[in-house]
Every structure is written in C-alpha cells, then in structure tokens.
Amino acid sequence: MSAEAAAALLFLALVADRQGSSFYGRDRMALALGLPRDALDRALARLLALGLVAHRPWRAGIPDGVWQLLPLPRSEVARRGGESVSVGAILTRLGLGP
C-alpha cells in the first residue's frame, strides 16, 4: 500500500465529523496533502477497494461528495481480542504500513 493512501486515510480521519464523514473536495484534499490530484485519486480508489471508506458523489458525473470512514473489517476487530493495538499496527495489517 502506498504512503499516499495512508496519508489520505489519516487526513479523512482527522477532518471527519462525529459520524466519520468528510465533505472535502478532491482538489482541496490534494492541496492539503501536497499530492498531485492523480496520486490522490489513486489513493482514494485504493481505500475504496479495501473497504476502508465509502463515497457518495454530490450528483452523477461529479467526483466530489461525501467520504465516509467505515469500521474496520470484522476479521481485524476479532483479531484484536479486546486488547489495545496501535494505529501503526492496524495500518500495517491492512497493508498500509511500511
């Protein structure tokens, strides 16, 4: 997994509201992360493919919209067994770490 995808996930987590939703446009996200727009688009596509985020465009043909953080996959939660796990360890298990 790319560093860009990890950065995009962290960014979405930091700017999300209480329900895990973010309303940032892709151009604004790319600027904030210092990424070219195409790199951000690839990163967001990877997060969608991994099931870590969901996206609902404002309307058909418009790429911007609401980004929703999703719960960790059930198998990941079950592996934790109630014990504390660092964010880095979770990202590594999801293929987002070094």
Average model confidence (pLDDT) for the chain? 84
Mean pLDDT along residues 43-63: 90
Q: What is the pLDDT of residue 7?
A: 92
Residue with more model confidence, 80 or 90: 90
Rounded to an integer, what distance in angstroms lies between the CA atom of residue 51 and that of residue 27?
Answer: 22
Q: What is the pLDDT of residue 60?
A: 87
What domains can you pick out in the chain, each with its CATH number? 3-93 (1.10.10.10)
How does DSSP assign 32-83, residue by residue? HHT--HHHHHHHHHHHHHTTSEEEEESSTT---EEEEE-PPPHHHHHHHTTS
Residue 39 has pLDDT above 70, yes or no: yes
